Amino acid sequence: METASCSILHTLAFSSNTATATINNNHHLFLPPKTNPSFSSTFPRNFNFHGKPLQFNGFTAFSSPSSAQSQNPPQELAVLLEVDGVIMDAYRLGNRQAFNLAFQKLGLDCANWTEPVYSDLVRRSAGNEEKMLVLYFNRIGWPTSLPTSEKEPFVKSVLQEKKNALEELMLKSLPLRPGVEDFIDDACNKGIPMIILTAYSRSGEKTARSIVEKLGDERLSKIKVVGNEEVEKSLYGQLVFGKGMSSSLDEQLAKEARKAASAEKQRIAEEVASLLKVSVNIDTSSSERLEKIVASLLAGAEIAEVPVYNCILVAGSKSGLAAAEQIGMPRVALRSSFTSRAEFPTANAIMDGFGGADLTISKLCQKRWS
């Protein structure tokens, strides 16, 4: 993919911290730095664009684009976009409608989530949909014909129906976020590689790709979509997941150490639980998900042919921001209706949308990271 020259980025001193893996003497893979760069030690944590006041962490404005370009040579840039909350804002309207459609299909006429009810459940469960259902039915009462032992399968059946309903809503009636198409077009017109990440979408890769298809064939021909297959075929994916080549010894040892630590935690927890006569299960899914997101981000940088620290992730999820921070990738949080009041402490910038006083390619090109 063609890379762009853009004066937004300041080259970081990664030569000693960034490992470069060479495959067949022809390809180079930028691996995560051993230590994360500091984005806030030099510049103020808050910066306001002219117009709508917004929070920024680690951005600094050039006093004059021309003078900045003369002092710093142009640097390549790539933009990575998540799907959930970025390409489409389906969290509140889509999710709530999907739950209500699932209730209807399962004959749960007494169950209906208004927006205040849904917002309260999201807040109390931290967005965990299984917990949302348990909290709700504990409040209004479970179906009378449902045995206590069948509550878990019942919740899973509701979530499956909700997923099916959400997929249909996303594909048929929910629009893309305002301004996202112009944002992508602007990047393509400037020759900036645009990568859309579907591999770790919570709505599922199939649904995420269907959402991306709403961008249109012409636009899709100018961007790259990174899903599970692309991650596995990437050089980093092959190294880490062992798809097509052996993982490095250090990587294998690290993975085995993580497995051993999780097993030991589970063993200790079970011993304590046996004394208390309760059952426990240590959840390792969050760390596994973070590993998958890291692999997706690195695959995106590789496909864009731009170093990790010259890529910018536009994310709607805290997990995406955390993964980007872990590998030293600059990151912008894009608020959605679901995260309108959320805090994003790991983001370098927090924006409310695309265009105008919000996120634009021009504004990205007038900033640099430190």
Sign of the CA dihedral 128, 134, 135, 136? positive
pLDDT over threshold 50, residue 355: yes
Instruction: Give the mean pLDDT of 197-211.
Output: 88
126 plus 221 within the same structural domain: no
Q: How does residue 260 score in pLDDT terms, banded at 50, 70 and 90?
A: low
Mean pLDDT computed over 205-221: 92
Give yes or no: residues 221 and 320 share one domain. yes
Angstrom distance (rounded) from CA 2 to CA 117: 48
Rounded mean pLDDT, 197-225:
91
Residue 300 domain flag: yes
261, pLDDT greater than 50:
yes
44 inside domain = no
Chain-wide mean pLDDT for the chain? 75
Question: Are 111 and 135 members of one domain?
Answer: yes
Asked whether residue 217 falls in the same domain as residue 344, the answer is yes
Question: Residue 30 domain-assigned?
Answer: no
For 215, residues 6+ apart whose C-beta sits below 8 A from its C-beta are 87, 176, 181, 184, 223
- Does 10 map to a domain? no
Count other Cβ atoms within 10 Å, centred on residue 147: 9
Find out whether 17 and 327 touch, Cβ atoms under 8 Å.
no
Give me the pLDDT at residue 93, please: 65
Q: Average pLDDT of 207-213?
A: 90
197 forms bridges with which residues in the sheet?
82, 226
pLDDT (0 to 100) of residue 321: 95
pTM given for the model: 0.65
Say yes or no to pLDDT of 245 above 70.
Answer: no
- Contacts for 297 with CB less than 8 Å, ≥ 6 apart: 80, 197, 308, 311, 313, 320, 323, 324, 327, 329
Q: Does position 17 have pLDDT exceeding 70, yes or no?
A: no
Does residue 329 form part of some domain?
yes
Look at residues 230, 262, 280 and tell me which one is the last residue of a structural domain.
280
In this prediction, what percent of the chain has a pLDDT beyond 90?
Answer: 42
Residue 79 has pLDDT above 50, yes or no: yes
Position 56 in a domain: no
- Per-residue pLDDT, averaged over 129-137, amounts to 94
> Is residue 263 located within the same domain as residue 276?
yes
Of the two residues 144 and 42, the one the predictor is more confident about is 144
Residues 316 and 235 in one domain: yes
Choose one of 121, 145, 171: the last residue of a domain.
171
Evaluate if residue 257 carries a pLDDT over 50: yes
In this structure, are 150 and 290 located in the same domain?
no
- The per-residue pLDDT for 242 is 63
Please give the Cα distance from 266 to 39 (Å, whole number): 37
Whether residues 152 and 99 share a domain: the answer is yes
pLDDT of amino acid 179:
96
Whether 280 has a pLDDT exceeding 50, the answer reads no
Q: Looking at 171, 191, 214, which one is the last position of a domain? A: 171
50-59, 200-209, 214-223: range with lowest mean pLDDT = 50-59
Question: For residue 202, which of 88, 75, 69, 298 has the smallest C-alpha distance?
Answer: 88
What CATH number did the domain enclosing 151 receive? 1.10.150
| Residues 179 and 165 both lie in one domain | no
Whether 64 has a pLDDT exceeding 60, the answer reads no
Please give the pLDDT value at position 156. 95
Give yes or no for residue 128 having a pLDDT over 90. no
Total number of domains constituting the chain: 3
Looking at the chain, how many residues does it have? 370
26 belongs to a structural domain: no
Residue 58 included in any domain: no
Q: What is the mean pLDDT of residues 136-152?
A: 92
What are 81-107's pLDDT values in tens digits? 999 889 998 766 688 899 999 999 999
- Tokens 């680690």 belong to which residue? 58
pLDDT tens, position by position, 107-116 = 998 899 998 9
CATH for 301: 3.40.50.1000
What's residue 250's pLDDT? 59
Judge if 221 and 315 occupy the same domain.
yes
Domain span at residue 327?
76-86+175-239+284-364
The pLDDT value given to residue 180: 97
* Residues 254 and 328 both lie in one domain: no
Whether 112 and 215 share a structural domain: no
